[in-house]
Amino acid sequence: MEFALSEDQRMLQDSLKGVLGEAAHLDRIRKIAAGETGEGAALDAALSEFGLSALMVPEAAGGLGLGALDACLVQEALGYDVAPSRFLATAVAAKLLAGKPDVLGAIAGGEATFGLALTELFSRRDGAGVELKGGKLSGKSLLAQSVDGATHILVADTAGAVHSVAVGKASVTVMQTIDRTRTFHEVAFDGAEPLVSVTPEAEAIAFARLLVAADTLGTAQAMIDKAVAYAKERQQFGRVIGSFQAVKHMCAEMAAKLEPARALIWHAAHALDIGDAEGPMMATLAKAHLAEVGTFVARTSTEVHGGMGFTDLVGLHYWYKRIGVNRQLLGSPEQTRQTAAELQGLVV
């Protein structure tokens, strides 16, 4: 059996890479990180024209009905260019609201856009947490994603349910993280009435984590490519540093660690697509493993660049910081491994 990407999947990823090459160049990423909203809007327009919002919506609801593996290929491409995008939030919203065809149609058509406030499903800081009492939501959730420009927010409560709330019913405050390519928010509710409420299945939560892992895969691959390109150009003692055995070993070790991680993500996505019982467990392990591999690649790629790796001239820090935030997003490696152990019945 050959397990490889189909021609359509390769075309999807290649086409998106072409769009991102023009719309998510480093100069634009720098401006977005500096807070220039016009640059972010231009990137959003390019991705919207590509049709990302409809990819994960079933065909019956007006979407393309693609699967988890297709979504991972898209997120990998976005991570490669550290492109800010609401694709992850849109794809996860389509999964969580799979039983709501009217909402899915609005997602596919771009009329409904969702932010994700799911952090409290995985961990909770003191003073945070959203409760549903008397049919109304109160409390706050941290590190909400893709809230800018959203019409609705999907928020998790302390009982594990997820609710759709109009964005105007929430008090939104920007949270600063080291990753300036994306914005995160604190969202607070004071008696907001949910429009839709669902109990998330393990597959939907695992899918969200798998997309974060795919984003790290793309980001780490970009850091390897940048390190190899730099090693071929930078000279010391009259020779390119890529000819030094120590630098060769560093680049080879990064590649050797990352390539099996790609297979892990593909396997987890395929398992989710076919409804295999091990899908949620494999996706959760992929999130944990990519967090560790991504951290190694980020550190090693920076070392290959030497002092230049810390400068804004190269811009490597955008990829480094994105990997750092992804490591904790939707659960740290320790938390996700705990979840994988629970799914296997190894711990209670």
Residue 68 and residue 156 in one domain = no
- Residue 4: alpha-carbon gap to chain centroid: 22
Which pLDDT does position 1 carry in this prediction?
54
Q: What are phi and psi of 147, to 5 degrees?
A: -75, -35
In sequence order, what are the residues at sequence separation of 6 or more whose Cβ sits closer than 8 angstroms to the Cβ of residue 278? Answer: 271
User: Could you tell me the CATH number of the domain that includes residue 171?
Assistant: 2.40.110.10
Whether 265 and 214 have beta carbons less than 8 Å apart is answered as yes
Which pLDDT does position 139 carry in this prediction?
94
C-alpha gyration radius of the chain: 20
Which pLDDT does position 2 carry in this prediction?
65
Question: Looking at this protein, which amino acid is placed at residue 184?
Answer: F
From 289, 305, 114, 131, select the one nearest 212 (Cα to Cα): 289
Domain C-terminal end among 179, 198, 217: 198
Residue 192 and residue 219 in one domain = no
- Residue 149: alpha-carbon gap to chain centroid: 18
Q: What is the largest CA-CA distance in the chain?
A: 74
Residue 144 and residue 27 in one domain = no
Residue 126 and residue 179 in one domain = yes
From 52, 150, 177, select the one nearest 109 (Cα to Cα): 52
C-alpha–C-alpha distance, residues 203 and 98, integer Å: 12
Mind listing the pLDDT tens digit of every residue in the chain (348 residues)? 567 899 999 999 999 999 999 999 999 999 999 989 899 999 999 999 999 999 999 999 999 999 999 999 999 999 999 999 999 999 999 999 998 999 999 999 999 999 999 988 888 778 888 999 999 999 999 999 999 999 999 999 999 999 999 999 999 999 999 999 999 999 999 999 999 999 999 999 999 999 999 999 999 999 999 999 999 999 888 899 888 999 999 999 999 999 999 999 999 999 999 999 999 999 999 999 999 999 999 999 999 999 888 888 889 999 999 999 999 999 999 999 999 999 998 987
Residue 224 and residue 212 in one domain = yes
DSSP code string of 128-163: -EEEEETTEEEEEEEEEES-TT-SEEEEE-TTS-EE
Which pLDDT does position 128 carry in this prediction?
86
Whether 192 and 137 have beta carbons less than 8 Å apart is answered as yes
Helix (H, G, I), strand (E, B) or coil at 34: coil
Q: Is 133 contained in some domain?
A: yes
Residue 156 and residue 144 in one domain = yes
* Start-to-end Cα distance in the chain: 37
Q: Is 2 contained in some domain?
A: no
Which pLDDT does position 56 carry in this prediction?
95
- Tokens representing 294 are 């991504």
Kind of pairing, strands 171-175 and 152-156? unpaired
| Domain residue limits at 147 | 114-198
Looking at the DSSP assignment, which residues form a beta bridge with residue 158?
Answer: none
Residue 125 and residue 169 in one domain = yes
Question: Looking at this protein, which amino acid is placed at residue 156?
Answer: A
Q: Is 348 contained in some domain?
A: no
Which pLDDT does position 310 carry in this prediction?
86
H or E element at residue 292: helix 279-305
Which pLDDT does position 15 carry in this prediction?
96
Whether 222 and 80 have beta carbons less than 8 Å apart is answered as yes
Domain C-terminal end among 62, 88, 109: 109
Residue 165 and residue 243 in one domain = no
Residue 222 and residue 288 in one domain = yes
Which pLDDT does position 347 carry in this prediction?
86
